[in-house]
Structure 1
Amino acid sequence: MFEAGAVLDVLETLGKAGCQVWVAGGWGIDALVGRVTREHGDLDLLHRVEQEPIVVAALESLGYAERTEGVVPGRPARFVMTGPEGRELDLHPLHFAPDGSALQRLDDDGGAFTYPAGVFVTGEIGGVRVPCLSAAQQVSFHQGYAPRERDLLDMAALREAYGIATHF
């Protein structure tokens, strides 16, 4: 399990190293609603691709190491680092444009996902302000597939907090 204290430790270490990251996934939703809504098995983080060597070094200082086996899809879209007590970080490199929008390469054939500049917001975990993705972006990520139980919980939390219509 990935507890709030461990999330804040990771974010503090990355911040001290000068890395810009945004919390996504389940923890990103919890940051938006300002409370823990469910147990989390991992932490999804988006980071500036040019800062990746610093991000990796900072996480290695906390005992994390990149895991390549069983990571699908893998690079360039994402990579996984496993750390103390089996905690997993799901890291997503972003290429930022001058206007603040970002691009996440999905494959080596030019596939990519675009993040508009306005989706990079802040939320709160354990009383600490943290960078995260907007509620609208989180809803967008939860479309187009059969939802798992945790997806239903995440969307219910956003509906309750923001009155956002979510469709599955």
Structure 2
Amino acid sequence: MEAGDVLALHRACERAGVRFWIDGGWCVDALLGEQTRAHGDLDIAIRRTDADRLHEILTELGYLADSGPDHTAWNYLMRIPPDKAVDVHVVEHDADGHVTYGIEYPADSLTGTGIIDGQKVDCIAAPWMFTFKTAYPPASKDRADVRALAAKFGFAIPDSHR
């Protein structure tokens, strides 16, 4: 996924009144304000109320559902072969902000903003992105992401990610 692909989806959703938050590696780069590495996909969080419309927009842009074994109604992949993929994470909160459906995104995690190729985008808030990135055994790209977030935002790097 290239920055242009991310921004094309962002613009299409904006025109349709659909809001999503960038997660994963692209979120790290948005928070840093620059692309630091290549990305195999775009991870996004979206409210359940907008999920069907997002699916329509992705389809209009040429993405096809990838019905792999881990596909669920709240977490699925859509792709344009061979190299464009969007990993959709659906969430729903109750009036108190508790997750009632889908992926465990605390309500205040959906409050970040960043920059991709000069364009402001919604993304996972920096403290939450750091928390998410340090919650699993890291690959080398995760260690690099964690180091970059720590350097910009002053987070303490756990031993597991040094």
TM-score relative to the length of structure 2: 0.89
- Counting only pairs closer than 5 Å after superposition, residues 85-164 of structure 1 correspond to structure 2 as 85-98=82-95, 101=97, 103=99, 105=101, 113-117=104-108, 119-164=110-155
Contact 2:29 2:36 in 1 (8 A): yes
3-state secondary structure, aligned to 1:113 = coil
- Deviations, residues 90-117 of structure 1 (Å, cap 9, x unaligned): 0001103335x362745xxxxx624132
Question: 1:150/1:124 Cα in 2 relative to 1: closer, same or farther (>3 Å)?
Answer: same
Structure 1 vs Structure 2 CA RMSD: 1.9
- Deviations, residues 93-142 of structure 1 (Å, cap 9, x unaligned): 1103335x362745xxxxx6241325412111011110001111111112
Q: Which residue of 1 aligns with 2:49?
A: 50
3-state secondary structure, aligned to 1:80 = strand
Shift of 1:12: 0.7
Shift of 1:151: 0.5
3-state secondary structure, aligned to 2:157 = coil
Unaligned stretches of 5+ residues in structure 2? none
Count of aligned residue pairs for this structure pair: 159
3-state secondary structure, aligned to 1:124 = strand
Contact 1:102 1:117 in 2 (8 A): no
Question: 1:130/1:114 Cα in 2 relative to 1: closer, same or farther (>3 Å)?
Answer: closer
Shift of 1:84: 5.1
Q: What's the % identity of the aligned pairs? A: 30
Paired amino acid for 2:58 = L
Contact 1:65 1:82 in 2 (8 A): yes
| Separation in 2, partners of 1:119, 1:45 | 11
Shift of 1:21: 0.2
- Deviations, residues 21-60 of structure 1 (Å, cap 9, x unaligned): 0000000011111000111000001111111111001111
Paired amino acid for 1:132 = C
Unaligned stretches of 5+ residues in structure 1? 107-111
| Separation in 1, partners of 2:151, 2:134 | 18
